[in-house]
Structure formats: structure tokens, C-alpha cells
Amino acid sequence: MDYKEAGVNISAAEKLVDRIKELVKSTSRPGVVGKIGLFGGLFDLAEAGGSTRLIASTDGVGTKTIVASWANRFDTIGECLVNHCVNDIAVMGADPLFLLDTLATDKLDPERDIALLEGLVRGCTNNQIALIGGETAELNGVFIPGQFDLGATIIGSIPTNLPVLDGSRIKAGDELWGLASTGLHTNGFTLARKVLFEKSRLSQHEKLHDGTTLADALLAVHRSYLAPIRKVRQFEWVHGFSHITGGGIVGNTKRLLREPLHLEIEWGNWQEPPIFELIRRLGEVSDDAMREAMNLGIGLIIVAEPGSEQQLRSLIDENVTYVGKVVA
């Protein structure tokens, strides 16, 4: 018996990596040093114009990978992963610099894996960050055949002329303003799958009220909020940002608060995308459970001084929704 017979194809992995290298090169930016394929990725912070305040975050796309396999569509979740990671550091005032990814599966699938990497590259290009390395692993015996996991670590820097947005500015009376999500983003998929696939046995071609298919709604790309954050982060009347992921609006935004501050949310003050109502209705899911697991149509919260609405609307070229306020 050899390694291939045991379940790991080194030759196939090397061929895949060779194809990946060409994709990765397209994300190069000032600061990238050396070539892809060494034991580590090199980045010159000074050449990139970065500050000495570095920030790092690691995340994945969770069980959205199962939905992608169910629909046999792998073109969006790589971009979802990049945007999720970018948002997690952007809300603290950072500019993303570079990213490393991890793809783990029971068996390499070149067509699927290239589609995943193309999404990663698209996300990196759109956010102007470099993909400087990663890991592609065949873990036969760990994963159910056909399933995989996709994760990444991102590194960014916070400009020295900007504060670290850690919530220390937030005070009672501050208002919460929301920017729309594109759907579930990368959270709540375990509940969504149980309701839509296992309980209701819906087809990926099922049409929602807005005319989109179920697969389109579930696999919509997780938004990047880097551009709107950059437009307003330097103003003193902006006190913080919250990226709405697992835990929902309350669970994520309260991470910024100090005692005795709390949140007062105006539920129902915005229109939820149809996918959330479908999950709520078919699964008979309570409002509390939906609010805990999902973003419900709001992907970013901006915490700002009272009376900041006009400045926000003039600077951010999209609808800004009043979500609630901070109370003592």
C-alpha cells in the first residue's frame, strides 16, 4: 500500500497547488515579498505603508460549505470568507493587508477547489489585499466524503492617525444605524439547513417572494463593509462599528459596551429579506431564536452620536436604517 491507496494523492495536490499559484499572483500588492510556495508568506509592512499596530482575525464559512455542496455551486463562498474576515478587522478601524487560507477535505476535487480559490481571489482583489499563502489538506477519514472546510486568517494594520475602535467611546444616547446584509452571510446555516432541507425538503430551485431561487438566496455573497467604514471611521461622532455575525444584532453589538450600557433595538424598523421569513415560517422558529442566530437583514451597525443621521446619509451612498440606541 502507498499514500495514494491510503487516501491521499500527493501528485494531485501538487498539480492543484500549481494552478493555485497563478491565481494567487493576481492578488499581489505593495508589501508582498518573494514567491508563493515557500514555507511561509512574506510581507514587508513598511513597503505597504502599514503602521506598527497590527490586528489579526481567523474565521471560516461554517456549514455554508454544506449548502454549496447541496447546490453544487462553489463560486461564492471563497469571496464570502474574505469579506467576513475583512469586516471583522475593519470594524475596529483597520485596513486589511494580507490573508492566508485553509482548505481541508476528504479528497481533492480540482474543479470545486479552483472555484473556491477563484472566489478567494475575487474577494482579495475587491478588497485590495494579498493572498500570500495557505494550506490545502486531504484529511481522509476526518471528513464525510464530498464535504470540506474553508477558513482563513487575515492580518491588517490600524493607521496611527486613527483610534482603535474598541467601544470605549460609546455612551448612553448613542444611536445605532444599520447597513443591509445580502442574506444570511455566513451564519445561521445549521438552523437554515434543518428547516429548509431536512424538515421541509425544499429544492434548490424553489422560488422566494422576490423571484430569487433558494440556492441564490442562501449562497449570496457575504458583503464587505470596508468601503462605507472607511468613509466615516475618522469622524469623532462615530463611536464604533459592529459586524453582525453569529449571535445576531444584540449578541455582536453588546461586545462593544461597558456596564451599565445596554441596547434598545427597534425590531421591525427595516424590511427583512424573504429568506428569513421563509425560515421563520417553515420552521416555526421564535423571534428570539431568529434574532440570536441570524442578522435578519442588517450586516453592519454604526454606533454614532445622536443627530448624526444626515452626516451618515451624505457620506455613505446607500440606505442607512435606524436600528435603535444605547441606553443606561
Confidence of residue 106 (pLDDT cuts 50, 70, 90): very high
d(CA 85, CA 74): 18
Could you tell me which residues are beta bridge partners of residue 104? Answer: 137, 149
Of 5-14, 112-121, 162-171, 189-198, where does mean pLDDT reach its minimum?
5-14
What would the pLDDT profile of 270-325 be if each residue is shown by its tens digit? 999 999 999 999 999 999 999 999 999 999 999 999 999 999 999 998 999 999 99
d(CA 301, CA 321): 9
User: Does 24 score more than 70 pLDDT?
Assistant: yes
d(CA 308, CA 302): 11
d(CA 57, CA 81): 12
Confidence of residue 217 (pLDDT cuts 50, 70, 90): very high
d(CA 67, CA 187): 12
Would you give the DSSP letter of residue 197? I
Report the mean per-residue pLDDT for the chain.
91
Strands 32-33 and 42-43, bridge-based pairing: antiparallel
Strands 321-327 and 238-243, bridge-based pairing: unpaired
Strand residues in the chain grouped as ranges (E): 32-33, 42-43, 54-60, 95-105, 130-138, 148-157, 175-180, 238-243, 262-265, 298-304, 321-327
What percent of the chain lies above the pLDDT cut of 70? 91
Residue 28 pLDDT: 82
**What are the two backbone dihedrals, phi and then psi, of residue 131, each rounded to the nearest 5 degrees?**
-95, 105
Short-list 92, 87, 142, CA closest to 300: 87
| All three cell numbers of 260 | 451599565
Sign (positive or negative) of CA dihedral 309, 313, 316, 322: positive
Residue 53 pLDDT: 84
Confidence of residue 8 (pLDDT cuts 50, 70, 90): low
Q: Which amino acid is at 235?
A: F
d(CA 189, CA 211): 21
Residue 10 pLDDT: 55
Residue 163 pLDDT: 87
What would the pLDDT profile of 250-275 be if each residue is shown by its tens digit? 999 999 999 899 999 999 999 999 99
User: Does 183 score more than 70 pLDDT?
Assistant: yes
User: Does 3 score more than 60 pLDDT?
Assistant: no
Short-list 34, 231, 24, 55, CA closest to 123: 24
User: Does 44 score more than 90 pLDDT?
Assistant: no
Confidence of residue 36 (pLDDT cuts 50, 70, 90): low
- Specify the DSSP element, H or E, that contains 278: helix 274-283
Residue 20 pLDDT: 67
d(CA 12, CA 4): 10
In the chain, alpha helices (H): 3-6, 10-25, 45-48, 64-71, 77-90, 110-127, 189-193, 214-218, 226-232, 248-253, 274-283, 287-293, 309-315
Short-list 152, 132, 155, CA closest to 56: 155
Percent of the chain as helix, strand, coil, to the nearest 5: 35, 25, 40
Q: Average pLDDT, stretch 74-100?
A: 96
Q: Average pLDDT, stretch 131-140?
A: 90
Of 30-39, 62-71, 229-238, where does mean pLDDT reach its minimum?
30-39
Would you give the DSSP letter of residue 19? H
User: Does 14 score more than 70 pLDDT?
Assistant: no
Residue 65 pLDDT: 97
